[in-house]
């Protein structure tokens, strides 16, 4: 049997600089073909063959987390502070609540361990006074009449038989959505993540406390409503939602079982940025429209066959486009222009929307906005970088400043859009 092996990598710069041929960035590991294929399927790392048969080079991508495949556990840690990553993930779900949470409990150096530790502490605090109880509606067959008779089901299912009777009634117990969500998150962490014994022991105790709670079906977890009665559960429930939303890697390829927890950093960055931008724009009377929330379809061509979907379209109250913004989880290198493809994309957006200005916001790099004036068109693409290492309050201020500066500038521009 092969001895367990743990590899820790760090999120690779999206540009790939400094990684080619570097042993610390691209460790070479002997793997059986099925193990290599299973690891590659997780997308946490890229798996490439080397000149030596049976040896593969692993490289981090734009994902973070931990996966275990057979004897090998691979962890990819973010370059952004772990507390900031967790905060950005939570802020996207509930900006009003998470804007007050600028720190997270725990000092773990591993991302998944930090998330698990924060959840364990929050869950322990939530259930310290006992599990929350509440009313839930139950529909079931019974040998006695209780609550209300479900006449339709009695006729169609029992064909006139007197017993059992189909009834509906309210039950007051601990099997409520709040406890089910805590149980779902606990099971995900226990079954799919390689964690220290100290955390697994504490999670096992939480699992025991929730022994009488029904585990919800994966992908069909119940919703909960914030009330005064479940106030002590709020922190644990927000963390549970994060764990459930990003879920875990758990599947089998052939005889190889894969388990783990993987998060797309590009999506964390994009969702956080678009959420904060939309909020800041809304406070100024505008509208920040994302593709899934924008009911108006816009096209690049006259025949209306090529749809354009910018990350965020800044519109006024009459739905007239003002400017367009795209998030890029890339490095904006000091002294250099943005990648050509990014500039082409924004130029196409501005042309189709009749705008004179568009914005590219990168995850890191030179933070001073650099304008790129397009030849043959009255279009300027402005490139920005957001420093994700800033404390959460400063991150929000950076986004607020960008929106304020942009608003002041376009108020002096003719922003009339072409018909779309």
pTM (two decimals): 0.82
Q: Is residue 13 part of a domain?
A: yes
Domain count, the chain: 4
Q: Is residue 275 part of a domain?
A: no
Of 50, 79, 108, the last residue of a domain is 79
Of 62, 79, 96, the last residue of a domain is 79
**Model confidence over 40-98: pLDDT tens digits?**
988 899 999 999 999 999 999 889 998 888 888 899 999 888 889 999 998 998 888 77
First to last CA, the chain: 64
Clarify whether residues 61 and 101 are in a common domain: no
Q: Is residue 155 part of a domain?
A: yes
**DSSP of 131-170:** ---EEEEEEEEESS--SEE-HHHHHHHHTT-SSSEEEEEE
Clarify whether residues 192 and 142 are in a common domain: no
d(CA 268, CA 31): 31
Clarify whether residues 94 and 198 are in a common domain: yes
Q: Reply yes or no on whether the pLDDT at 16 is more than 50.
A: no
Q: Is residue 40 part of a domain?
A: yes
CB burial of 16-29 (b: ≥16 within 10 Å; e: otherwise) equals eeeeeeeeebbbeb
pLDDT of the residue at 245: 84
Q: Reply yes or no on whether the pLDDT at 204 is more than 90.
A: yes
Q: Reply yes or no on whether the pLDDT at 274 is more than 60.
A: yes
Q: Which range among 204-218, 336-350, 365-379 has the greatest average pLDDT?
A: 204-218
The dihedral built from the CA positions of residue 167, 173, 176 and 181, taken in this order, carries a sign that is: negative
Q: Reply yes or no on whether the pLDDT at 376 is more than 80.
A: yes
Structural domain span for residue 344: 284-410
**Model confidence over 117-140: pLDDT tens digits?**
999 999 999 999 999 998 777 766
pLDDT of the residue at 179: 95
Q: Which of 343, 346, 285 is nearest to 311 (CA)?
A: 346
Q: Reply yes or no on whether the pLDDT at 373 is more than 60.
A: yes
**Model confidence over 238-264: pLDDT tens digits?**
999 989 887 666 667 777 888 888 899
pLDDT of the residue at 160: 63
Clarify whether residues 153 and 235 are in a common domain: no
CA distances to 13, 93, 270 from 89, rounded to whole Å, are 20, 7, 10
Clarify whether residues 39 and 53 are in a common domain: yes
pLDDT of the residue at 369: 67
Clarify whether residues 183 and 310 are in a common domain: no
| CA gyration radius, the chain | 26
Q: Is residue 49 part of a domain?
A: yes
Confidence label for 283 from pLDDT (cuts 50, 70 and 90): very high
**Model confidence over 330-352: pLDDT tens digits?**
877 655 566 888 999 999 999 99
Cβ count near 395 (within 10 Å): 22
pLDDT of the residue at 418: 36
Clarify whether residues 357 and 402 are in a common domain: yes
Clarify whether residues 340 and 392 are in a common domain: yes
Q: Is residue 254 part of a domain?
A: no
Mean pLDDT estimate for the chain? 83
Clarify whether residues 113 and 231 are in a common domain: yes
pLDDT, greater one: 406 or 173: 406
Clarify whether residues 404 and 316 are in a common domain: yes
Q: Is residue 276 part of a domain?
A: no
Clarify whether residues 66 and 119 are in a common domain: no
The residue to which tokens 């690049």 are assigned: 300
Clarify whether residues 325 and 372 are in a common domain: yes
Q: Is residue 256 part of a domain?
A: no
Of 79, 96, 112, the last residue of a domain is 79
Q: Are 267 and 88 in contact (CB under 8 A)?
A: no
């Amino acid at each position: 049997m092969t001895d367990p092996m743990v590899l820790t990598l760090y999120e690779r710069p999206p540009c790939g600089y400094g990684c080619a041929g570097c042993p610390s960035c691209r460790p070479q590991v002997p793997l059986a073909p099925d193990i290599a294929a299973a690891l590659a399927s997780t997308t946490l790392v890229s798996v490439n063959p080397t000149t030596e048969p049976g040896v593969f080079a692993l490289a981090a991508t734009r994902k973070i987390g931990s996966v275990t495949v057979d004897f090998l556990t691979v962890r990819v840690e973010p370059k952004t502070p772990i507390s900031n990553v967790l905060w950005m993930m939570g802020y996207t779900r509930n900006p009003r609540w998470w804007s007050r949470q600028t720190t997270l409990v725990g000092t773990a150096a591993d991302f998944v361990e930090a998330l698990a530790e924060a959840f364990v502490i929050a869950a322990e605090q939530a259930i310290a006074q006992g599990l929350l109880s509440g009313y839930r509606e139950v529909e079931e067959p019974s040998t006695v009449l209780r609550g209300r008779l479900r006449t339709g089901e009695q006729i169609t299912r029992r064909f006139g038989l007197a017993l059992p009777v189909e009834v509906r009634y309210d039950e007051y117990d601990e099997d409520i959505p709040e406890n089910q969500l805590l149980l779902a998150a606990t099971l995900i962490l226990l079954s799919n993540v390689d964690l220290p014994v100290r955390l697994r022991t504490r999670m096992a105790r939480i699992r025991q406390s929730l022994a009488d709670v029904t585990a919800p079906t994966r992908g069909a977890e119940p919703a909960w409503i914030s009330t005064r009665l479940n106030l002590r559960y709020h922190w644990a429930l927000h963390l549970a939602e994060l764990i459930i939303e990003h879920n875990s890697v758990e599947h089998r390829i052939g005889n190889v079982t894969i388990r783990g927890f993987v998060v797309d950093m590009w999506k964390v960055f994009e969702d956080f940025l678009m959420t904060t931008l939309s909020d800041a724009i809304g406070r100024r009377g505008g509208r920040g429209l994302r593709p899934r929330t924008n009911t108006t379809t816009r096209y690049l061509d006259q025949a209306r066959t090529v749809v354009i979907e910018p990350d965020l379209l800044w519109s006024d109250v009459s739905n007239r486009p003002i400017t367009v913004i795209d998030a890029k989880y890339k490095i904006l290198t000091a002294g250099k222009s943005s990648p050509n493809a990014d500039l082409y994309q924004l130029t196409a957006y501005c042309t189709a929307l009749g705008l004179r200005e568009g914005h590219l916001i990168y995850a890191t790099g030179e933070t001073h906005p650099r304008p790129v004036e397009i030849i043959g068109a009255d279009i300027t693409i402005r490139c920005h970088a957001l420093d994700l290492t800033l404390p959460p309050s400063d991150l929000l201020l950076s986004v607020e400043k960008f929106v304020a500066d942009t608003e002041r500038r376009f108020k002096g521009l003719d922003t009339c859009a072409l018909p779309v």
